[in-house]
């Protein structure tokens, strides 16, 4: 009768609806009783009132109201259910086989799939059938029937993988199952993606349905989630190719660019239409673009919506050769300086200062996209051959003019050059320096903005041949070329007719120079193509033998980077195969040099699975859940009863109390609504004691609950604060004891935490707060105070406590404070940190290893302040003095000088935390060198 999928659990109750007309009759005849008043002259009324008028009928709307109430109650008792689960037809009562697609294409709707499978498993359990749950990535095992509990366990243990499994491997298993269990019911939770053997698998299922007596259904999502097919890095910004399979919702979706730490650097909206490739431009400044580590689609939890970037996608490789003799003391006079500086944002410039032929040899071996010759005149034969070869095979050669080229040149040039350039604006010339003319439309550089402050005083001229016009990319005002280029073989030679330094023009000083070089290098990358670019993907100086890269971080099916699973193997640096179980998508290598492997190869596409040739039952994943109508109907009946009560009040003829009763009832009703709707979170107002904390710097200690330790911490930090006030420019206020689980930690740069082994471990929320504190730049000093009881191979209770606490947290690798760490030099020059004892070691975040043997600095620092420092000498006890300055605790090697050193260590720590690593600069290098005996 209705189109609504409505079912009743007790439909026989609905027969009570027949009683509604009888109810109507009674309600009509028995109107509600009004108040009775005594009226002596009633007999007078008898004469004037006709019986018709005196008979009272119920108003029609009360009738309808009451009948609605009765109807609602009757229907509610019959338990209506909207969208009931369809029962399986009786013929197929065999076991249930649920085959789940668990590649990354099903990650976006993973929860619905799980819920769907769970619903089916539950129903199979109700009907007493055996169940098998088969993930399609696991083709190695046969399908074994078991009970629903095992099926659910298996289901809970599944998560989407970051590769697409081959469905064709399951054909034999399918045959086995259909042979064993003729009445099986197979449910295939498909991801809707074709390829990878899905069509063959569907054909096998179809076969099984038609020839054997199994029933099968395919359950699919309405559409495959969108994915990123490729990212390129042209001049204007990242170009992200997004493929979407169905129209996304009208709200714009976003493409996000994230850096290595997961911070969002750009967020670009785009709208995608169905079955289309959309190119989204993510514009970022050049300097920031190299920090981008991944590009992903927002709110799509799938590995296909993530594209990992590594160095390879960032920068072009450029080799630079010049034979200047300028030393690094006068960098602004050397052409290589300008070129390197200009190309650094977008290219890796490798500068060879060797003899030219050796230099060229080295460079070419690297297969750079672009080789720049800064004022090299004629090349010798061997180099000429090398360069010629390089260009013909698809390399780009960029030459700058200069005195050498003026004197002698070879014909590795785009145009014929006239020896003897032109000088303008000199003492004996009559011409003015020229500006650059606007670029005309035939040039590949058309569209670049030409500045009007570039003046060319001297240039290399070209012979006015026929092809000069077409070879000119940029010309000066009078038509003489500034940049010319010519294709040779698969590559190109570009000549800039001025020097790369400022002697001939001020071009290197302008932004136009950068843009020009960037465009040229982009052209180079485009021309050279990926086949030419077969580089060592990690810097050779980092990996001495870069043959195999170990997995570093692996992407799981949801697109989240995590630790590599056991099945991931190392790959070679020139691996360019598809992802698989052994080589899942993610980063390989080390933090300095990573290779990214993405789920999609550059040339592969994903298409939807076409199910039309198969006669399989199709179902949708997102069938609406069954809705119980009872609650709705009962509340409707209740509301109608309330309305009826109000109606009675209105109809009764109480003179004065009528409006009062009505108002009372309305107020009572409103009080129902008042208590709901307060679920929104409100910001807690800050307790007033922390106004104080925000207004000045306080040293803070964590209240451990042990009274002696807390009072020691307080006294110690108090005397440290006094020492800081006396000796440095910092004027901290009194130290504050902080309850680590409740108080706001962001006011304190430094948190001193003395470890007490017998206190309970902090709960997970507290650990989250601590982690957040450290992530936001705070520093925790853990003081285990057990230096005397430490032995090799034995973990003290405090150490155990600290280890347990820090196990779940993301802390950086630690090392013992090296003697040249900046923390030992920030105020006083120290060697190590002492407290009440002096034998314990202090641990701090590990610094990156010194990168270059040449630039070893006397003081090393990392980029950030270390988020934690672990020490085992009891620092607070050494600092603690009473109000008069007399020390409270004796020191272990009873040396008062040690107390002074402890105080100095504390001052250094505070200074380190507050100022970071600025002390690692070169300002004090002479003093430092003296002290360190260099």
Partner 1 sequence: MKERELPAHHQVALDGAQHNAHRLATFFPPLIMSARALAAQLAQGVHGRRRAGAGDQFWQFRPLYMGESVASIDWRRSARDQHFYVREREWEGAHQVFIWVNRSATMRFRSDDNLPSKEERALVLALALSDLLVRGGERVGLMGMSPALSTRRIIEHFAQCFETQSEAARHAPLPPAYAPHGSRAHFVILSDCLSPLDELAACISALAQQGARGHVLLVHDPIEETFPFEGHVELSDVGNIEHMRFGDGAAVRQRYIERFERHRDDVDQLCRAQGWSCARHRTDRAAAHALLSLQMHMAGDAAMDAFYMRDVSGLDV
Binding site for partner 1 (CB under 8 A): 31-49, 53-57, 651-653, 655
What is the Cα–Cα distance from 573 to 757, expressed in whole angstroms?
A: 48
What is the Cα–Cα distance from 265 to 462, expressed in whole angstroms?
A: 46
Closest distance of CB 665 from partner 1, Å: 17
Task: Please tell me what DSSP assigns to residue 668.
Answer: H
What is the Cα–Cα distance from 235 to 523, expressed in whole angstroms?
A: 10
**Which of 312/658 has CB closer to partner 1?**
658
How big is the chain by its Cα radius of gyration, in Å? 40
**Which of 58/357 has CB closer to partner 1?**
58
**Which of 48/792 has CB closer to partner 1?**
48
> HEC profile for 588-630?
EECCCCEEEECCCCCCCCCCECCCCCCCCEEEECCCCCCEECH
**Which of 65/509 has CB closer to partner 1?**
65
Task: Please tell me what DSSP assigns to residue 380.
Answer: P
**Which of 646/730 has CB closer to partner 1?**
646
**Which of 36/792 has CB closer to partner 1?**
36
Closest distance of CB 251 from partner 1, Å: 55
Phi, psi of 168 (to 5 degrees): -65, -20
**Which of 647/757 has CB closer to partner 1?**
647
**Which of 223/647 has CB closer to partner 1?**
647
Element (H, E) at 900: helix 896-915
Closest distance of CB 643 from partner 1, Å: 18
Closest distance of CB 77 from partner 1, Å: 33
**Which of 31/377 has CB closer to partner 1?**
31
Closest distance of CB 54 from partner 1, Å: 5
**Which of 31/858 has CB closer to partner 1?**
31
Sheet with strand 292-297: strands edge to edge: 264-270, 253-259, 292-297, 306-308
Burial of 84 (0-12, 13-18, 19+ CB in 10 A): middle
**Which of 64/654 has CB closer to partner 1?**
654
Closest distance of CB 652 from partner 1, Å: 7
Closest C-alpha to 370, from 310, 311, 443, 320: 320
**Which of 32/345 has CB closer to partner 1?**
32
**Which of 33/684 has CB closer to partner 1?**
33
Closest C-alpha to 267, from 233, 237, 226: 237
What is the Cα–Cα distance from 211 to 39, expressed in whole angstroms?
A: 92
The string of DSSP codes covering 735-795 is: EEEE-TTTS--TT-SEEEEE--TTSPPPPHHHHHHHHHHHHTT-EEEEE---GGG-BTTB-
Closest distance of CB 6 from partner 1, Å: 41
Burial of 824 (0-12, 13-18, 19+ CB in 10 A): buried
The string of DSSP codes covering 864-884 is: S--SEEEE-S-HHHHH-B-TT
Closest distance of CB 37 from partner 1, Å: 5
Closest distance of CB 56 from partner 1, Å: 5
What is the Cα–Cα distance from 257 to 297, expressed in whole angstroms?
A: 9
Closest distance of CB 646 from partner 1, Å: 15
**Which of 634/649 has CB closer to partner 1?**
649
**Which of 423/647 has CB closer to partner 1?**
647
Closest distance of CB 648 from partner 1, Å: 10
Asked whether 258 and 265 are in contact (CB, 8 A), the reply is yes
Closest distance of CB 52 from partner 1, Å: 11
Asked whether 321 and 376 are in contact (CB, 8 A), the reply is yes
Asked whether 501 and 400 are in contact (CB, 8 A), the reply is no
- Cα 431 → chain centroid: 58
**Which of 50/330 has CB closer to partner 1?**
50
Sheet with strand 779-783: strands edge to edge: 733-738, 698-702, 750-754, 779-783, 868-871, 842-845, 814-816
Q: Side-chain half-sphere of 487: how many Cα atoms within 13 Å? A: 9
What is the longest distance spanned by two Cα atoms in the chain?
A: 140
Element (H, E) at 60: helix 60-77
CB contact set of 805 (below 8 Å; sequence gap of 6+): 761, 762, 767
**Which of 45/286 has CB closer to partner 1?**
45
Strand-pairing partners, residue 617, are 217
Q: How far apart are the first and last CA of the chain?
A: 97
Closest distance of CB 40 from partner 1, Å: 4
What is the Cα–Cα distance from 303 to 225, expressed in whole angstroms?
A: 11
Closest distance of CB 59 from partner 1, Å: 9
What is the Cα–Cα distance from 483 to 432, expressed in whole angstroms?
A: 20
The string of DSSP codes covering 219-244 is: EE-SSPPPEEEEEE--TTSEEEEEEE
Closest distance of CB 33 from partner 1, Å: 7
Closest distance of CB 23 from partner 1, Å: 21
Asked whether 125 and 96 are in contact (CB, 8 A), the reply is no
Element (H, E) at 44: helix 42-48
Closest distance of CB 66 from partner 1, Å: 17
**Which of 50/612 has CB closer to partner 1?**
50
Asked whether 815 and 847 are in contact (CB, 8 A), the reply is yes
Closest distance of CB 34 from partner 1, Å: 4
């Amino acid at each position: 009768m209705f189109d609504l999928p409505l079912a009743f659990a007790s439909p026989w109750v609905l027969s009570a609806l027949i009683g509604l007309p009888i109810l109507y009759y009674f309600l009509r005849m028995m109107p509600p009783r009004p108040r009775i008043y005594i009226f002596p002259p009633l007999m007078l009324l008898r004469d004037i009132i006709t019986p018709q008028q005196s008979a009272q009928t119920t108003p029609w709307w009360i009738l309808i109201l009451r009948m609605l109430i009765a109807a609602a109650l009757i229907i509610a008792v019959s338990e209506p259910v909207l969208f009931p689960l369809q029962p399986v037809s009786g013929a197929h009562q065999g076991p249930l086989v649920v085959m789940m697609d668990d590649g990354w294409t099903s990650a976006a709707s993973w929860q619905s799939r799980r819920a769907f499978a769970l619903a089916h498993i539950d129903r199979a359990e109700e009907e007493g059938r055996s169940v098998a749950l088969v993930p399609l990535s696991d083709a190695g095992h046969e399908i074994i029937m078991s009970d629903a509990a095992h099926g659910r366990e298996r289901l809970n243990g599944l998560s989407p993988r970051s590769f697409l499994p081959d469905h064709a491997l399951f054909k034999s298993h399918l045959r086995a199952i259909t042979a064993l269990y003729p009445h099986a019911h197979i449910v295939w939770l498909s991801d809707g993606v074709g390829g990878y053997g899905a069509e063959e698998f569907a054909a096998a299922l179809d076969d099984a349905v038609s020839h054997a007596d199994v029933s099968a259904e395919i359950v699919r999502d309405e559409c495959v989630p969108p994915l990123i097919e490729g990212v390129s890095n042209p001049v204007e910004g990242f170009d992200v190719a997004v493929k979407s399979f169905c129209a996304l919702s009208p709200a714009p979706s976003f493409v996000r660019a994230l850096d290595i730490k997961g911070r969002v650097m750009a967020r670009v909206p785009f709208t995608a239409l169905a079955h289309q490739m959309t190119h989204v431009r993510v514009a970022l400044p050049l300097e920031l673009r190299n920090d981008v580590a991944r590009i992903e689609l927002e709110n799509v939890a799938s590995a296909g919506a993530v594209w990992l970037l590594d160095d390879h996608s960032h920068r072009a490789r450029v080799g630079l050769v010049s034979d200047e003799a300028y030393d690094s003391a006068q960098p602004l006079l050397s052409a290589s300086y300008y070129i390197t500086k200009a190309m650094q944002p977008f290219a890796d410039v490798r500068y060879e200062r060797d003899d030219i032929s050796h230099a060229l040899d080295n460079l070419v071996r690297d297969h750079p996209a672009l080789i720049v010759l800064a004022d090299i005149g004629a090349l010798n034969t061997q180099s000429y051959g090398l360069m010629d070869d390089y260009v013909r095979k698809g390399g780009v050669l960029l030459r700058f003019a200069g005195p050498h080229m003026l004197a002698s040149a070879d014909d590795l040039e785009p145009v014929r050059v006239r020896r003897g350039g032109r000088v303008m604006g000199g003492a004996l010339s009559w011409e003015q320096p020229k500006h650059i003319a606007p670029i005309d439309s035939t040039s590949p550089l058309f569209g670049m903005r030409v500045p009007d402050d570039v003046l060319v005083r001297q240039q290399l001229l070209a012979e006015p041949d026929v092809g000069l016009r077409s070879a000119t990319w940029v010309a000066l005002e009078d038509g003489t070329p500034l940049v010319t280029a010519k294709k040779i073989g698969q590559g190109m030679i570009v000549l800039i007719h001025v020097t790369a330094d400022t002697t001939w023009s001020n071009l290197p000083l302008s932004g136009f120079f950068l843009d020009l070089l960037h465009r040229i290098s982009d052209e180079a990358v485009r021309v050279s193509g990926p086949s030419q670019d077969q580089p060592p993907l990690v810097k050779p100086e980092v990996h001495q033998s870069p043959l195999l890269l170990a997995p570093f971080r692996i992407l799981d099916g949801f697109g989240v980077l995590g630790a590599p699973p056991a099945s991931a193997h190392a790959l070679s640096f020139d691996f360019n195969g598809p992802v698989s179980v052994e080589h899942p998508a993610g980063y390989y290598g080390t933090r300095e040099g990573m290779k990214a492997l993405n789920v999609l190869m550059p040339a592969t596409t994903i298409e939807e699975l076409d199910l039309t040739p198969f006669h399989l039952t199709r179902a949708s994943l997102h069938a609406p859940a069954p809705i119980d109508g009872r609650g709705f109907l009962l509340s409707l009946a209740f509301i109608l009863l309330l309305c009826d009560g109000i109606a009675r009040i209105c109809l009764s003829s109480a003179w004065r109390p009528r409006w009062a009763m009505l108002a009372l009832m309305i107020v009572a009703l409103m009080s129902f609504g008042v208590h709901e709707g307060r679920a929104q979170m409100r910001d807690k107002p800050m307790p007033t004691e922390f106004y104080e904390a925000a207004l000045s710097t306080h040293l803070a200690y964590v209240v451990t609950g042990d009274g002696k330790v807390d009072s020691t911490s307080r006294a110690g930090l108090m005397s440290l604060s006094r020492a800081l006030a006396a000796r440095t420019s910092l004027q901290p206020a009194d130290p504050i004891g902080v309850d680590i689980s409740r108080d706001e930690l962001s006011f304190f740069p430094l948190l001193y935490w003395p470890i007490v082994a017998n206190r309970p471990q902090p709960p997970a929320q507290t650990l989250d707060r601590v982690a957040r504190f450290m992530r936001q730049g705070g520093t925790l000093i853990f003081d285990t105070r057990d230096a005397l009881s430490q032995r090799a191979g034995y973990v003290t209770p405090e150490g155990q406590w600290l280890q347990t606490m820090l196990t779940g947290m993301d802390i950086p690798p630690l090392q013992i404070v090296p003697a040249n760490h900046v923390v030992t030099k920030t105020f006083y020059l120290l060697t190590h940190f002492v407290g009440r004892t002096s034998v314990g070691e202090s641990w701090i975040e590990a610094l990156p290893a010194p990168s270059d043997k040449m630039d070893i600095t006397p003081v090393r620092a990392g980029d950030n302040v270390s988020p934690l420092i672990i020490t085992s000498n009891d620092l607070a006890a050494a600092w603690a003095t009473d109000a008069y300055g007399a020390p409270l605790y004796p020191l272990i090697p009873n040396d008062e000088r040690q107390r002074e050193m402890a105080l100095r260590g504390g001052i250094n720590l505070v200074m380190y935390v507050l100022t970071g690593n600025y002390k690692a600069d070169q300002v004090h290098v002479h003093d430092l060198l003296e002290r360190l005996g260099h």
